[in-house]
Structure 1
Amino acid sequence: MSWITGPLVAFDLETTGTDVETDRIVTAALVRLGPDGAVAAEWNWLLDPGVAIPAQASAIHGISTDHARAHGVRAASAVEEIARSVAEVLDAGTPLVVMNARYDLSLLDRECRRHGLASVGERLGGEPSPVIDPLVIDKHVDRYRKGTRALHALCAHYGVPLDDAHNARADAVAAARVVRRMGEKHQPVGSMSLPDLHDLQIRAAADQSVSLQAYLRRTTNPSAVVEQAWPVIPRSRRPEANG
């Protein structure tokens, strides 16, 4: 049975910014979709990140510092629940869909470290797997298509509704539906085993980063460094760009 005909669990974060080393989780969603694409179960979190949420971030996801402080749960307890839930999904062998996994899973890893908690990888005894990343796959199967590869653009390209962008639940659902459409359209990907698909994305993400780094060095920043690791950036690294 192909992974595109089975259940998928999608994960998404909304955060205080874009730096995996310093920014914090504001909202998180874990959503299970059945083979028919319908939502079968979901888990949602609103956190008090313990820091002020910049106005620019609030403008994107709609959560203010005051709202998070009044209604969010303590960050440490929420991060524990999120990491445990993600690890349980992967430990069961269910594919985890994460749009730009290099960002979301790395930020979750750093939040675990910040609060003295076991990371997803530590709970699993190895790298989080199997992960399916619509961003990496789309760049791999349709390398030369012009335009942005943001989630809203992928939804438009693959004909998937996205009614509430930058809402963690809505983004998670859309990412899972998009990646299933990708698998249906691009059968060499859709027919792969989950271990093979995960390994393909490790190689593809590295190749894409090398290409982007070369482009940036050639056009705008001679010293640009784009992280190659996927799905989690090792903790010792601080790249200038995450691809």
Structure 2
Amino acid sequence: MSWHLGRMAGFDLETTGVDTETDRIITACVVLVGGKHPTQSTTWLANPGVEIPDGAAEVHGITTEQARAEGQPAGQVVEQVIAALAQATYAGIPIVIMNASFDLTLLDREAERHRVHPLTGEGRSDLRVVDPRILDRQVDRYRSGKRTLTHLCQHYGVRLDAAHSADADALAAYRVARRQANQYPQLAAMTLDELHTAQVGWAAEQAASLQEHFRKTRPDAAVEGAWPLIPRQKEATP
């Protein structure tokens, strides 16, 4: 049976911003779906311990006041999210993450910040990730337009309710990945190991191509190509 017909775990974070080294988790969702079993969704709201910028609050709808009043301590949320993802990984379930290098890297930095054993730590090398953004750029390289989750949902005919809420985005990412495998047999024919390894290479190639494009007007432009986890920077904020 192809990987896209079995059980998968959708994962998404909403955060204080877009800097993986310094920003914090606000909400998270892990949704187990597919494989002819009932959908199981778990969501978390964290108190990040910092102010939530107005711009971020406008995106996901969570204010500093709400996070402080209703959110769990951030360290507890990080520990529980990693435990849920690790459990899926140990069961051989792939994790579907739109723009995986952002979510997994930010989760990794939060684990370091709160002294939680990271998802990608020793003994967890069997993590297998499916990233609809990487897949779309590979199978349809020359399509114009944006490739956000909203745009991919429109392109693949996937319903997206309440965009920028972690639970809706996690489920939508799963649905997009399944549609991609249905539409492109070369993806469905791969094993999870083959697909994961291929995405590592595809991500690097896509980043190099984008960097070359940017350097036509900005000679110093740099595009990160590491996937699914960006290595720690020496200047990372503790």
- Tell me the distance in 2 between the aligned counterparts of 1:237 and 1:209: 22
- Could you tell me which of 124, 135, 138 is aligned with 1:137? 135
SS at match of 2:215: helix
Provide the TM-score with structure 2 as the length reference: 0.95
- Tell me the distance in 2 between the aligned counterparts of 1:47 and 1:123: 26
- Tell me the distance in 2 between the aligned counterparts of 1:115 and 1:207: 33
Which residue does the alignment assign to 1:163? 161
Q: CA RMSD in A?
A: 1.4
Q: How big is the shift at 1:117?
A: 1.2
Q: How many residues align?
A: 235
Which residue does the alignment assign to 2:207? 209
- Tell me the distance in 1 between the aligned counterparts of 2:155 and 2:234: 34
Unaligned segments of structure 1, at least 5 residues: 239-243
Q: How big is the shift at 1:40?
A: 1.3
- Could you tell me which of 220, 227, 230 is aligned with 2:227? 230
Q: After superposition, give the CA deviation of every residue in 1:177-197 in whole Å (9 maximum; x if it has no partner).
A: 010000000000011100000
Q: How big is the shift at 1:215?
A: 1.1
SS at match of 1:120: coil
Pair 1:57–1:142, CA change in 2 (3 A): same
SS at match of 2:43: strand
- Tell me the distance in 2 between the aligned counterparts of 1:51 and 1:208: 34
- Tell me the distance in 1 between the aligned counterparts of 2:71 and 2:38: 24
In the TM superposition, what are the counterparts of 1:1-243 in structure 2 within 5 Å? 1-35=1-35, 40-122=39-121, 124-126=123-125, 129-219=127-217, 221-236=218-233
Contact 1:31 1:39 in 2 (8 A): no
Contact 1:91 1:124 in 2 (8 A): no
SS at match of 2:223: coil
Contact 2:31 2:42 in 1 (8 A): yes
Unaligned segments of structure 2, at least 5 residues: none
The amino acid that maps onto 2:26 is V
Give the stretch that moved more between structures: 79-88 or 145-154. Answer: 79-88
- Tell me the distance in 2 between the aligned counterparts of 1:70 and 1:170: 23
SS at match of 1:223: coil
Contact 1:87 1:124 in 2 (8 A): no
SS at match of 1:31: strand
Contact 2:86 2:124 in 1 (8 A): no
Identity value in percent = 48
- Tell me the distance in 2 between the aligned counterparts of 1:13 and 1:194: 23
Contact 1:9 1:89 in 2 (8 A): yes
- Tell me the distance in 2 between the aligned counterparts of 1:236 and 1:15: 19
